[in-house]
Chain A
Amino acid sequence: MPIEQICTIVSAEKLNEFAWSFTLEAGDLVKREGLRAGQFLHVKCGAEHLLRRPISVCLAQADEPVDLVRIVFEVRGEGTAWLSRRKAGDRLSVLAPLGNGFECGEKDRLLLVGGGIGVPPLLGQAAYTWGRSVAVLGFRCAERAMLVEDFREKCTQVVLCSDDGSLGHHGFVDEQVRRILAKDQTVASVLACGPKPMLRAVAAAAAEYGVRCQVSLEERMACGIGACLGCAIRMADGTMKHVCKDGPVFEAEEVDWNV
């Protein structure tokens, strides 16, 4: 059940020109409410913004006296710009835990595929399957890269790609997904988060090799808890589901990729 929690920012770190990492003191959100990576926090971004901003949980750690939660976000508009100006010691109102998160077993070998600000929500899965999973991380350019060392520590292999060739392979992540799936039959599931065109391409690649693919989606959101029906996503069967309550993680084969 979601609750409102006032979280104190323990540390605020700028990862690159657009991305920030906050570690929050989060009360008992992990221990008692079961918050985990891949779910999201609905963060109040000042009185001047009517809507909270949904921010994915990067890492959720049960701790004493209070749990610690790491979020990574990119400045996209006025709300996230407000958030980026917060400092260690500031307090944030969040609604959490919200959404469903990825489904995977501790013993699973996962193929984690992240693009841009879609990279951070996968870090928790890398930690959960420590020493088993492979990550393919795509960025626009070398300057936009983030969390690469965090993934290297937790994954057996990290493959980097960039749109402009300034980092790792020059090209999109789905090429690397195909290359890996072609020679590795032990991948239990592909977990992907990033821009929708990337997710569509990764879903197609996973389907070619018959590997389960879970995607974390985003949509403009209001209430965050399933009441207002704002953040709709069309499913392959024509019905609408909602990122906040049914997602943000969906089975790729259930999503209508043609809209």
Chain B
Amino acid sequence: MSNPVELSVDLAGVHLKNPVVVASGTFGFGKEYGAFYDLSELGGICCKGLTPARREGNPPPRIAETPMGILNSVGLQNPGVDAFIAQELPELKRHDLAIIANISGNTPEDYGVMCEKLSAAGVDMIEVNISCPNVKAGGLAYGTRPELAAEVTAIAKKHASVPVMVKLSPNVTDITEIARAVEGAGADALSLINTLRGMRIDVHTRRPILKMNTGGLSGPAVLPVAVRMVWEVAGAVKIPILGMGGVSRGADAAQLMLAGAAAVAVGTACFDDPFAPLRVRDELAALAAGQGLDRVSELTGGVRPW
């Protein structure tokens, strides 16, 4: 009988006891899924995206199902960073998992203020969202222009005392250009991909399903795009990558790791199966064991391209 595969990984100095975290916006602040299992089973949680003040988000409908995917236009509904620190973080900290706060701002200064507050409050890492497709100001604008992405990253780094991970948008021509700019500005890690912009129309009413007309596509449909982009970015930067986009099985996670991800996030799969992150973890461990690996981290960057 061989020893079990070592599941822990290091993400820019943040210890994850297993490489499966849950993706921002799909898991709230954890308590809803905490009804199904102990959150300490997870490697980490990327919390629901925070803004300086409370936001009510976009008008409904906000959700549309698509072939092997989901469009959403939630629009960063959240209680605001102060309410998160006061009301959500203490409960989350009672569990043994990496707490990664996700932040979005309208101005570079917004990012700085939130980084200071969250670092002081004791989160393990900050994920800087420069890629939300569902808000007008900030959000995606920062994520599609290298110089703005670098500016936001530099401000976040200046004000954060914990590692800073920048979440990249796939809605760009060359993701490596943004990745390099963000690395150059001091980012400790990258997470990718955020959702792809999409649209679905009711052919009878001729209305888009989403009230915002367009939204962000997630789910298994985007997995190949995520694998390709992680592979491209891994070849362009030296900082570690949290890979995400359509992961619902262990083999999906393994693909992202082989492409270059140090860890993976599970998101949309939770809606169908609340236990998806644990299943992905167990399937990934079995896959690594089946390949005779000592550590799951040996998968990272192991793709053999033609």
Q: With A2-B36, A232-B59, A232-B77 in contact, is A226–B28 under 8 Å at CB?
A: yes
Cβ-defined contact, B63 with A231, below 8 A: yes
Complex Cα distance A79/B272, Å? 13
Interchain CB contact (< 8 A) of B274 among A4, A51, A221, A232: A4
Complex Cα distance A44/B27, Å? 19
B90 an interface residue at 8 Å Cβ cutoff? Answer: no
B243 an interface residue at 8 Å Cβ cutoff? Answer: no
Per-residue 0/1 for A220-237: is the Cβ within 8 Å of any B Cβ (1 yes, 0 no)? 111111111111111000
B65 an interface residue at 8 Å Cβ cutoff? Answer: yes
Complex Cα distance A52/B272, Å? 6
Q: With A1-B35, A222-B271, A240-B57 in contact, is A232–B26 under 8 Å at CB?
A: no
Interchain CB contact (< 8 A) of B56 among A95, A240, A259: A240
Q: Main SS of the interface on chain B?
A: loop
B residues near A51, Cβ cutoff 8 Å: 63, 65, 70, 271-272
A208 an interface residue at 8 Å Cβ cutoff? Answer: no
B102 an interface residue at 8 Å Cβ cutoff? Answer: no
Closest to B248 in A: A50
A219 an interface residue at 8 Å Cβ cutoff? Answer: yes
B25 an interface residue at 8 Å Cβ cutoff? Answer: yes
Number of A-B residue pairs at CB separation under 8 A: 95
Cβ-defined contact, A227 with B32, below 8 A: yes
Cβ-defined contact, A220 with B219, below 8 A: no
Per-residue 0/1 for A197-237: is the Cβ within 8 Å of any B Cβ (1 yes, 0 no)? 00000000000000000000001111111111111111000
Cβ-defined contact, B270 with A230, below 8 A: no
Complex Cα distance A49/B270, Å? 13
Closest beta carbon of chain B to A179's beta carbon, Å: 33
Closest to A232 in B: B60
A residues near B271, Cβ cutoff 8 Å: 50-52, 222-224, 228
Instruction: Classify chain A's interface size.
Output: 20 to 34
From B35, B65, B272, residue with most partner A Cβ within 10 Å: B272
Q: With A228-B74, A232-B77, A240-B57 in contact, is A3–B62 under 8 Å at CB?
A: no
Cβ-defined contact, B60 with A231, below 8 A: yes
Closest beta carbon of chain A to B293's beta carbon, Å: 29
List B residues 206-227 near A (Cβ within 8 Å).
209, 219-220
Q: With A220-B209, A227-B26, A239-B56 in contact, is A4–B63 under 8 Å at CB?
A: no
Complex Cα distance A51/B209, Å? 15
Per-residue 0/1 for A30-56: is the Cβ within 8 Å of any B Cβ (1 yes, 0 no)? 000000000000001000011110000
From B25, B62, B219, B268, residue with most partner A Cβ within 10 Å: B62
Cβ-defined contact, B56 with A223, below 8 A: no
Closest beta carbon of chain B to A82's beta carbon, Å: 12
Cβ-defined contact, A229 with B77, below 8 A: yes
Cβ-defined contact, B274 with A95, below 8 A: yes
Q: With A50-B219, A225-B35, A227-B33 in contact, is A233–B60 under 8 Å at CB?
A: yes
Cβ-defined contact, A259 with B63, below 8 A: no
Closest to A230 in B: B63
Complex Cα distance A237/B48, Å? 23
B residues near A220, Cβ cutoff 8 Å: 60-64, 209
Complex Cα distance A228/B57, Å? 12
Cβ-defined contact, A221 with B69, below 8 A: no
B residues near A225, Cβ cutoff 8 Å: 32-33, 35, 274
Closest to B77 in A: A229
Cβ-defined contact, B62 with A230, below 8 A: yes
B residues near A219, Cβ cutoff 8 Å: 60-61
B residues near A259, Cβ cutoff 8 Å: 59
List B residues 269-283 near A (Cβ within 8 Å).
270-272, 274-275
A residues near B274, Cβ cutoff 8 Å: 4, 95, 225
A65 an interface residue at 8 Å Cβ cutoff? Answer: no
Cβ-defined contact, A223 with B220, below 8 A: no
- A contacts, CB < 8 Å to B: 1-4, 44, 49-52, 79, 95, 219-234, 238-240, 245, 259
- 26 cross-chain CB contacts under 8 A: A3-B36, A4-B275, A44-B272, A50-B68, A50-B220, A50-B268, A50-B272, A51-B63, A51-B65, A51-B272, A222-B63, A223-B26, A223-B32, A227-B32, A228-B28, A228-B63, A228-B72, A229-B77, A230-B63, A231-B60, A231-B63, A232-B57, A232-B59, A232-B60, A232-B74, A259-B59
